[in-house]
Homo-oligomer: A and B are copies of this chain.
Amino acid sequence: MDIHELTRDLHTKNGAKIVMLVADGLGGLPMAAGGKTELETANSPNLDQLAARGVQGASIPVAPGISPGSGPGHLGLFGYDPLKYRIGRGALEATGIGFELEAGDVAIRCNFCTLDDDGNIADRRAGRIPTEESAPLARKLREVSIPGIEIFVEPVKEHRFVVVLRGPGLGGNVRDTDPQATGVPPLDPVADDDASQKTAEVAREFLTQARKLLADQPKANFHTMRGFAEKPNLPTYEDVYGLRAAAIAVYPMYKGLARLVGMEIVGAAQTLDEQVETLAENWDSYDFFFLHYKYTDSTGEDGNFDAKVARIEDFDAALPKVVALDPAVLIVTGDHSTPAFLQSHSWHPVPTVLASDCCRPDGLHEFNESSCIRGGLGQFEAKHLMTLALANAGRLGKYGA
């Protein structure tokens, strides 16, 4: 049984506010045996104070050992089983550049490539053509015209761009045209089910016109198509939780993920301080606030332990202004770990703390990786966090009599 069948039945409405602060990639590792993690190294008195009155746990983003991307990582935190709900690559790419997908849209990741005189692929990434050269070419492809289909072409970065097809009867189940090799021609788009036949035809026509439009280009004289994906069909926060939800994020990817579950994007904050101001300004208009903080992840990806420590301290310094708003439930967590030691997303459970008037404190006074594994929430799958949030906000009725 999906937990949303329960929450949809049991949720009640009251004025209680829930705030979820997501420090992306929060969890870490020591750089050397016997050392401390980034969070253990950071001076974070406000997080520790929250831990003292709250309850901690170690959040497993998807399943033990699974390192998630941003999509599944956030879906879990939002309470959507990331093994049940999947966001196709094309849809995630479109989401990541802030494109607002509509129901029925099919999004496709495209790569500019170089064809040789025989029409075989000489370079799968068109020599990693710089963005300033590739973006105008992507825009040129907006000249492609197919009757009955609305077409969007959006530059991304270097050789990458996105195509979105909008029209009736488009399925997302079409195979990649990138042969993953050079010296061979690109593949034809082939539908894997009846519902996607029309998509494959449209894609073939797009490629035919694109080949002509790009024919004179020295490097990017063609492109491949990968990760065909329909807009994922996710129930909304209002539907499954009865929450008017707001997202406060700086980067398009996280705004996009929040939009997919029906959150409204509020403000245009560029810094954490501005994000917290946005939170305060919108306090009366929403029940739930998702605030995304990027830099604990990006510093981890860079392998910069000290920078990640500093970014955690920045995050900690912003906490009192959130606490001052006195939310019924305040959660600090991350969508996954990004240890500087690994320079990548990892599977390690994420320190998570939940504070409310009716949580059961666990006697811990520090917030970090060592502490959270002894916490009252135990080790739990991220998808359960929203149910706990609702319960602690008094927004969930009794199951059964």
Contact = CB atoms under 8 A, between A and B. Distances in A.
B360 A348 contact: yes
Interface string A358-401: 10111100000110011111111000100111111000111111
Q: How many copies does the complex hold?
A: 2
Interface in A324-351: 339, 341-342, 344-349
Contact of A29 (B82, B358, B374): B358
A89 interface: yes
Q: Is the interface of A mostly helix, strand, loop or mixed?
A: loop
Interface stretch (A62-70, A117-125, A291-299, A315-323): A62-70
Interface in A30-67: 30, 33-34, 37, 53, 58, 62-67
Nearest to A370: B363
B398 A65 contact: no
A92 interface: yes
A1 interface: yes
Given A67-B399, A69-B401, A399-B66, A342 B358 contact: yes
A231 to B, nearest CB: 16
Contact of A384 (B6, B30, B64): B64
A86 interface: yes
A65 to B, nearest CB: 3
B63 A387 contact: yes
A1 B379 contact: no
Contacts of A390: 65
A193 to B, nearest CB: 19
A34 B361 CA distance: 8
Interface residues of A, number: 68
A93 B400 CA distance: 11
A398 B67 contact: yes
Nearest to A81: B1
A258 interface: no
Contact of A66 (B6, B33, B66, B349): B6
Given A66-B387, A358-B29, A360-B369, A1 B396 contact: no
A67 B390 CA distance: 11
A3 interface: yes
The 7 tightest CB contacts between A and B, nearest first, are A65-B387, A378-B379, A65-B391, A64-B384, A69-B400, A72-B400, A65-B388
A298 to B, nearest CB: 16
A376 B373 contact: yes
B400 A64 contact: no
A87 interface: yes
Interface centre among A344, A390, A400 (most CB of B within 10 A): A400
Contacts of A375: 373
Given A89-B401, A360-B369, A66 B379 contact: no
Interface centre among A10, A376, A380, A398 (most CB of B within 10 A): A398
A69 B29 contact: no
Contacts of A3: 63
Given A69-B398, A342-B358, 9 more contacts: A1-B83, A6-B63, A29-B360, A30-B361, A58-B376, A64-B377, A66-B391, A377-B379, A378-B379
